[in-house]
Amino acid sequence: MSLQPRELINKGNWCYINAILQALVACPPMYHLIKFIPLYSKEQRPCTSRPMIDRFVQLMNEFTNMPVPLNPRQALGDKMARDISPGAAFEPTYIYKLLMGQQEDAEEYLGFILNGLHEEMVNLKKLLSPNNENLTISNGPKKHSVHEEEQEEQGKGSEGEWEHVGPRNKTSITGQADFVQTPITSIFGGHIRSVIYQQSSEESTTLQPFFTLQLDIQSDKIRTVQEALESLVAKESVQSYTTKTKQQKTGGCQKLIKNIEYPVDLEISKELLSPGVKNKNFKCHRTYRLFAVVYHPGNSAKGGHYTTDVFQIGLDGWLCIDDQTVKLINQYQVVRPTAERTA
């Protein structure tokens, strides 16, 4: 669907919320999921056990289809500006109230929203199937064949932990946190697999679920998202003992002023994937397309502002949204941010 953009009124310190809301509206799977859920008024249902879901259903219904031009080519060139005339601006106060006075940055707020929606869906599944034991099973690897040719998982050990038999009959103990499947995990969920190797001992493997993948970009060697992903899965030595060191005071949270390159189409290389995944030839499952970028201008981590660039499917182009301002932006500006506009 080609949604008509709408500006979000910011009467307070809500730019970090507005930036994430615009990004989530621009995510097609997220939009269609929420639009699939019925919209109820307070009169129809005065009490609710799913306040976050209901508020996001209300938000998505604020956006409607953009009028289709008589000539499809009308959306090109100078005429595009006329076709993206934003709808009436509004203030999503019902979304702001979900925070209950908490102050967070944009990335923290994204995690807050995804976890909140996920937890409400988990509770709804429990209400629908209170005796369904499958609800305690995570959405990661189960006890079945993961390596098509030479891997096998055998249930041993405590709950949430099993012995994994890999290539050349090498074993490892695998533990995994429970992560109930919901539509939110289907869109945003993933798992990090970490393995500890020790001489003359079984490997210890942990599968940890995530919604947002946080990449360390502090090293001077890391200049691209691909390099940050490679650093995330790189092997590192861990000593068998710990030492106490003096913590150097840096004056609190510091913003890292650094541009990281990222493509419009990102393919997760097989080298970054776990055994049992990398050998499956599903290129479409590891190819991602950029649909939104959130920016934080300024040099300080304690203040500043947030804006969002979103891909508008109907126009096959990008929009820059800054609270109550919507303007066209070209793709080159999206993937080549300046020091004043850090992605």
106 & 6 share domain:
yes
* Residue 247 falls inside a structural domain: no
Q: Identify the band that residue 85 occupies on the pLDDT scale cut at 50, 70 and 90.
A: confident
Q: How far apart are CA 146 and CA 152, in angstroms?
A: 7
pLDDT of 188: 94
16 & 93 share domain:
yes
* Residue 18 falls inside a structural domain: yes
pLDDT of 140: 36
181 & 280 share domain:
no
Secondary structure, 3-state, 161-224: EEEEECHHHCEEEEEECCCCCCHHHHHHCEEEEEEECCCCCCEEEEEEEECCCCCCCCCCCCCE
- Whether 108 has a pLDDT exceeding 70, the answer reads yes
162 & 270 share domain:
no
154 & 81 share domain:
no
* Residue 159 falls inside a structural domain: yes
7 & 103 share domain:
yes
Sign of CA dihedral 328, 330, 336, 338: negative
* Residue 142 falls inside a structural domain: yes
- Whether 70 has a pLDDT exceeding 50, the answer reads no
Q: What percent of the chain has pLDDT over 90?
A: 41
164 & 55 share domain:
no
58 & 85 share domain:
yes
82 & 131 share domain:
yes
* Residue 132 falls inside a structural domain: yes
Q: Which CATH number is 336's domain given?
A: 3.90.70.10
* Residue 243 falls inside a structural domain: no
Find out whether 301 and 253 touch, Cβ atoms under 8 Å: yes
What's the whole-number mean pLDDT along residues 126-144? 53
Active-site positions?
A: 15, 305
pLDDT of 79: 47
Which residue range is the domain that position 278 belongs to?
215-233+252-289
Widest pairwise Cα distance in the chain: 72
323 & 229 share domain:
no
* Residue 238 falls inside a structural domain: no
Phi-psi category of residue 232: left, alpha or beta, with phi > 0 → left and psi -120 to 50 → alpha = alpha
* Residue 150 falls inside a structural domain: yes
259 & 302 share domain:
no
Domain count, the chain: 3
Q: How far apart are CA 266 and CA 337, in angstroms?
A: 17
3 & 50 share domain:
yes
What's the whole-number mean pLDDT along residues 82-104? 82
- Whether 136 has a pLDDT exceeding 50, the answer reads no
* Closest CA relative to residue 293, chosen from 277, 309, 314: 309
